[in-house]
Structure 1
Amino acid sequence: MPSQSDPMNPFEEAKALHNKGVDGDKKAVIQANELLFKLRATEPDDARIEAYYGSTLVLLGRDAVKILEKADKAEEGLDALNRAISLDANIKEIRFLRGNICLRLPESFFHCSKTAIEDFTFLLDRYKENSSYLTQQQVREVLQNLSIAYQNAGQPDQADLVLQRLNQMD
């Protein structure tokens, strides 16, 4: 695979399209998904490709009209994200992707707040080991998301503890 920083790298192109899709560009989601599908065939054990592919599936579900298609794409996307973690559990970018997706899916249907908690806790644990692992803005974002994930998981006391930690930062 070409260098990650190469702007002509198909993976970088797919990530850029993915990010446009996150911002609401439905055509970019389709393009990113198609590109990542092809990349996945040539690099089946690349955790980052698998993670972004999974994220595009969730985005396709977000944009789908039919309820069953929404659910099926989201489940398929979560499966790909979980596979990406199994390929390499230490990639920060993948933990952010999966955690944020799990945070935004309805808990009553997908039951993945525990996964979001796992990912956000992983990120904070690495930050404790190495203070350059996350920026201060990322730490705040992770703490806010972790608090919401605890709330969604029915653990308001844990959510409050995380919010106290966030307030101590300010």
Structure 2
Amino acid sequence: MTNLNTSDMEGSDLNETENNLSSVSILESTPSDPFNERLTLAIQLYMDGVAGNVTAVQEAHRILEQLRVDYPDKPLVDAYYGSTMILIARDKTEAFDKLKWSKQGLKMLDNAVAAAPHDSMIRLLRGKSSYNLPEQHFYRTKTVIEDFTLVLNTQSDTLDTEKQLELIYELGEAYNRIGQNQEAATHFRRLESQTQSSAWKQLSKQKLQALEGKPAIENLPNFSPTSILIEATRSVGSALLTWADDEKKKEKKKEKKKEIDQQKAEERAKERAKEKTKEEAKEKAKERVKEKAKEPAKEMTKELAREKAKELAREMAKKLAKEKAKELAKEMALKKKKK
């Protein structure tokens, strides 16, 4: 039997949620619809958050929080808001904070389902969020079964064929977690019969082999949610501390990855700065070429101006010479008369 480990909160299942939701036809947004534009942005950030982007989670949470104020009574917004809280819980380092944010997110998701019980997208969001929470702390597997069953039985474009197969597998895993082996085997056989993928068939075969010889319903150790909550509140019980330790290790890995990403970002920024400097240098070179191209024209203009000035000077000199000749002729004429 395969149980959900406490590390599943940030494991591959949660990271795969982006793929599960990326093919969903969520809404038809138009440039003139501010609600859909803002919700679409929040969903994109949520997807990035599912993939591990902590900053995107916080920004999605901020946008969704304001959307709930501006547009109340929108169950889909509440569902994404609650799912984002689950991601915030994932990124917290303290066990009590994880528990608090997870409980708030689940409450928001439950309210969204209560408001729109037949909405496949809302059911998928709640089911996925619940699927990635440790069963021994949250007791949400029955909710997962309810939500996934409704999504698979609803004729809609919420999931494509591949995602439906994935949901059938996860539904089998959910039944397996709570010891309902017969139901788990039914879904693994359903998956095996509905796919041509060798990977899915091999996985289904392995799961069915693991269930062979087990009773139809298996009694598994039961944990009291009340006692766990009391223990967590009073002394952060050992189970949650183990969870926190696992999360801290992951947090260190995340910090290391963040440092590497930061270095890469700085390198990209330097490259962009270099490219910008090159572009600016090219532009300056073009300007210099243009200026040099203008210089011959300027010189020619100056030369023409000089020639024009010389021509005017010559004309003026000729004119003055004529005037002087006339004056001399008059003087000579006057002298002749006197004689």
User: Above 0.5 in TM-score?
Assistant: yes
Structure number, greater radius of gyration: 2
Secondary structure, counterpart of 1:105 in structure 2: coil
Partner of 1:6: 30
Counterpart check, 1:69 vs 2:97: yes
In the alignment, is the contact (CA less than 8 A) between 1:55 and 1:97 conserved in 2? Answer: yes
In the other structure, the counterpart of 2:162 is 137
CA distance in 2, matches of 1:18, 1:133: 17
Q: Describe the SS at the equivalent of 2:78.
A: helix
Change (3 A) 1:29 1:162: same
Amino acid at match of 1:155: Q
Equivalence map 1:34-53=2 (5 Å): 34-53=62-81
Between stretches 6-15 and 149-158, larger displacement belongs to: 6-15
Q: Which runs of 5 or more structure 1 residues have no equivalent in the other structure?
A: none
Q: Distance in 2 between matches of 1:54 and 1:5?
A: 22
Contact 1:4 1:12 in 2 (8 A): no
Which residue among 111, 133, 141 is the counterpart of 1:83?
111
Measured after TM superposition, the shift of residue 54 of structure 1 is 0.1
1:134 CA drift (Å): 4.0
Distance 1:56 1:151 in 2: 27
1:167 counterpart letter in structure 2? E
Q: Deviations over 1:72-99 (max 9, x none)?
A: 1011000001111011112211111111
The 1-side partners of 2:83 and 2:56 are apart by 13
CA RMSD of aligned residues (A): 1.6
Does residue 163 of structure 1 match 2:191?
A: no
Contiguous gaps of at least 5 residues in structure 2: 1-26, 196-339
Summarize deviations over 1:123-142 as a string: whole Å, max 9, x none: 12224xx7x66421122011
After TM superposition, what 4+ stretches of structure 1 lie above 2 angstroms from structure 2?
Answer: 132-135
1:150 aligns with 2:165: no
Equivalent residue number for residue 97 of structure 1: 125
Residues in 1 aligned to 2:158 and 2:76: alpha-carbon distance in whole angstroms? 18
Q: Is the 8 A contact 2:120 2:154 kept in 1?
A: no
Residue 45 of structure 1 aligns to a residue whose secondary structure is coil
CA 32–133 in structure 1, closer or farther in 2 if over 3 Å, else same: closer
Q: Is the 8 A contact 1:36 1:49 kept in 2?
A: yes
Deviations 1:105-134 (A, max 9, x none): 00001000000000011012224xx7x664
1:156, distance to aligned residue in structure 2 (A): 1.8
Find the counterpart in structure 1 of residue 44 from structure 2: 16
> Quick one: structure 1 residues 55 and 133, their matched pair in 2 at CA, closer, same or farther if it must change by over 3 Å?
closer
- Aligned to 1:33, which of 30, 46, 61? 61
Identity of aligned residues (%): 34
